[in-house]
Amino acid sequence: MNGADRQIQREVERRRTFAIISHPDAGKTMLTEKLLLFGGALREAGAVRAQKANRHATSDWLELEKQRGISVSSSVMSCDYDGHRINILDTPGHKDFSEDTYRTLMAADCVVMLIDGAKGVETQTRKLFEVCRMRRLPIFTFVNKWDRYGRDPLDLMSEIEEVLGIDAVPVNWPIGSGTDFTGVYDRLDRRAVFFKGGKHGTEKPEQWELRGSLEDPELRSALGPHLEEIEESLELLDGAGATFDLERVRAGEQTPMFFGSALTNFGVFPFLESFLQFAPPPSARQSKEVQVDPVKGPFSAFVFKIQANMDPDHRDRVAFLRICSGKFERDMKTTHVPSGKQVRLARSTLLMAQEREEVDEAFAGDVVGLFDPGFFRIGDTLSDDRSIRYDGIPSFSPEVFARVEVTEVLNRKALTKGFEQLSQEGAVQLFTEPVGGSALQILGAVGELQFDVLRHRMATEYRVDVRLTRLPYTLARWVEGALEADAFEYSDATRLVIDRDGRLVLLFQAPWVVDLVRKNHPDLRLSETAVSVS
């Protein structure tokens, strides 16, 4: 191995690139802030507060996110800690933005699953977990809000196993709960870690530890009133054979459990230390032709997200590039595989939510922002080897649909530009239906909140007020096979439209209509997903 390869290997091995998933309000954005605080990227943690708050979470940078106190767009944040390069992909927790989350998970090497200690496994957590399972991503579970009184930790462990179908192994165990939550006992290292202070979570808390088994007199004394409960719980865990197995964790078959509070910072630091030890570095990725080694392979990457107007002053557009192999260097030339064209990767930046800094080099696991003049598409592969082509990122069937009406005809140009850019981001799906020589525009979304975001962004970023009239359809299917367009022209239960790649799509009012169409048109193939054409 030459010097350049050794450098790449060192850099790849120290990277940890992961996404955080959870049900809304489980504390995902706050945990992200605290990991950045411990990683040294922040001097003081922010908080998501009400509309009149003066400060907002670092990862929430869209104006609507600040107003509503929720995450509606994925963001990327990076920091260096203890010899590791940490790349955090913060995802929206709300179900209406599950497509954005799915795209982000395509760029992650592992996942932190955040669970509310009082509510357990919630609906959106289950859905996101299934996406992680499809990709066989390693999953680390952080049980949050332990500063409040919640469920019994053994019940939470059982629920994870029963509902999600994955073995759960507590790596540490809480010492107390609610206002009595004072620390965690590390089952692997046989030590108790105690906390106090932290100024309500804005600073790192004081932390000290005592090593030894529960037979140690000093440790037994320090545990005080919690000793009996911890002894009983750990005896049950040991008797049930709950043994940590790193190979099974990295295969996505077992999830390590950690307990803590992102609000007070208690338990966050022990979790971060263990996570960096156990989480995998970037590994080989399968392209259509070959498996690509992150160290030995040529430069390769794919676009998993596009965001317009991150900088309102410049109305720019950024393509988020996940590097899969080799070394990225600023101003390098490589091939845009879908078109076969040579491209120069200029104006490249490392991202910290909305903040940016120029990057000279990056490696597998890193996410680089590229200035995009409108050339890139989600799912595009860039590589020095044209035979490398990663799978495209699919679009899923929307569940709500609306017809577009613009209040001023003069804004037609801005309207078209806005819809084109936002649909390229994947913020909504755009369909057209030829009507009298013009194009009737129809928007599809996973949920109503996506339409709220669209209206807000069209008004603030493109200066267009948009009215949306809801349509009665609840799902879409992409059509493959011979189709007579007039076969659905007069049907109230279906509507034939065209997506932005020119493919035929049928909109349906109910699932039973899909079954009826399949029965009456057996030669048609109706697909729930479609991969973008490049």
Return d(Cα 404, Cα 382) in angstroms, integer: 35
Which residue did the predictor score with more confidence, 54 or 166? 166
Instruction: State whether 310 and 418 are in the same domain.
Output: no
Strand partners, 429: 444
12-31: average pLDDT: 89
Give yes or no for a contact between 267 and 260, defined as CB atoms under 8 angstroms apart: yes
pLDDT at 437: 46
Return d(Cα 180, Cα 85) in angstroms, integer: 34
377-385: average pLDDT: 93
Q: Where are the alpha helices (DSSP H) in 22-181?
A: 28-39, 63-68, 98-105, 123-134, 153-159
Band of the pLDDT at 311, cuts 50, 70, 90? low
Last residue of a domain, one of 349, 383, 417: 383
Give yes or no for a contact between 59 and 92, defined as CB atoms under 8 angstroms apart: no
Whether the pLDDT of residue 7 is over 50: the answer is yes
Instruction: State whether 191 and 257 are in the same domain.
Output: yes
Band of the pLDDT at 70, cuts 50, 70, 90? very low
Band of the pLDDT at 357, cuts 50, 70, 90? confident
Instruction: State whether 436 and 328 are in the same domain.
Output: no
Which pLDDT tens digit goes with each residue over 422-437? 888 877 899 987 665 4
Which pLDDT tens digit goes with each residue over 223-257? 999 999 999 999 999 887 778 999 999 999 999 99
Pick the range with the lowest mean pLDDT from 49-63, 175-189, 366-380, 510-524: 49-63
Q: Is 262 exposed, middle or buried (0-12, 13-18, 19+ CB in 10 A)?
A: buried
Band of the pLDDT at 47, cuts 50, 70, 90? very low
Whether the pLDDT of residue 408 is over 70: the answer is no
Query: Which residue type is seen at 474?
Result: T
Tokens 């913060």, located at residue: 90
Listed ranges 38-42, 131-135, 146-150, 321-325; the one with the highest mean pLDDT: 321-325
User: Per this entry, what is the length of the chain?
Assistant: 534
Is pTM beyond 0.75? Reply is yes
Give yes or no for a contact between 186 and 197, defined as CB atoms under 8 angstroms apart: no
Instruction: State whether 461 and 502 are in the same domain.
Output: yes
Specify whether the backbone of 159 is left (phi greater than 0), alpha (psi in -120 to 50) or beta: alpha
95-119: average pLDDT: 84
Instruction: State whether 231 and 328 are in the same domain.
Output: no
Return d(Cα 336, Cα 182) in angstroms, integer: 53
pLDDT at 356: 63
| Closest to 298 measured CA to CA, from 347, 331, 332 | 332
| Closest to 108 measured CA to CA, from 396, 346, 322 | 322
226 secondary structure, DSSP code: G
Tell whether 513 is covered by a domain: yes
Tell whether 82 is covered by a domain: no
Last residue of a domain, one of 383, 409, 442: 383
Q: What is the DSSP string of 421-445?
A: HHHHHTSSEEEEEEETTEEEEEEEE
Tell whether 146 is covered by a domain: yes
Instruction: State whether 127 and 238 are in the same domain.
Output: yes
Tokens 């030995």, located at residue: 296
pLDDT at 58: 45
The set of residues, in sequence order, having a beta carbon less than 8 Å from that of 109 and lying 6+ positions away, is 16, 17, 18, 137, 138, 279, 280, 281, 282, 283, 365
Give yes or no for a contact between 400 and 508, defined as CB atoms under 8 angstroms apart: no
Instruction: State whether 215 and 335 are in the same domain.
Output: no
* CATH label of the domain that carries residue 488: 3.30.70.3280
135-160: average pLDDT: 94
Instruction: State whether 354 and 406 are in the same domain.
Output: no
Expressed as residue numbers, the domain containing 176 is 17-71+91-275
Return d(Cα 387, Cα 287) in angstroms, integer: 9
Pick the range with the lowest mean pLDDT from 54-58, 207-211, 305-309, 461-465: 54-58
Share of the chain above pLDDT 70, in %: 84
Listed ranges 130-139, 362-371, 477-486; the one with the highest mean pLDDT: 362-371
Which pLDDT tens digit goes with each residue over 249-303? 999 999 999 999 999 999 999 999 999 999 999 999 989 878 999 999 999 999 9
Whether the pLDDT of residue 328 is over 80: the answer is yes
Average pLDDT, the chain: 84
The set of residues, in sequence order, having a beta carbon less than 8 Å from that of 291 and lying 6+ positions away, is 284, 285
Whether the pLDDT of residue 313 is over 70: the answer is no
Strands 504-508 and 183-186 come out as: unpaired
Band of the pLDDT at 333, cuts 50, 70, 90? very high
Give yes or no for a contact between 20 and 45, defined as CB atoms under 8 angstroms apart: no
Whether the pLDDT of residue 94 is over 60: the answer is no
Instruction: State whether 368 and 453 are in the same domain.
Output: no
φ, ψ at 311 (rounded to 5°): -110, 100
Instruction: State whether 137 and 265 are in the same domain.
Output: yes
Return d(Cα 139, Cα 155) in angstroms, integer: 19
* CATH label of the domain that carries residue 298: 3.40.50.300
Last residue of a domain, one of 275, 297, 315: 275
Tell whether 86 is covered by a domain: no
Q: What is the DSSP string of 335-404?
A: EETTTTEEEE--SEEEEETTEEEE-SEEETT-EEEEE-SS---TT-EEESSTT--PPPPEEE--SEEEEE
467-484: average pLDDT: 88
Instruction: State whether 171 and 24 are in the same domain.
Output: yes
Number of compact structural domains in the chain:
3
pLDDT at 54: 38
pLDDT at 74: 54
Tokens 């409108």, located at residue: 374
Instruction: State whether 372 and 424 are in the same domain.
Output: no
Distance, first Cα to last Cα, the chain? 36
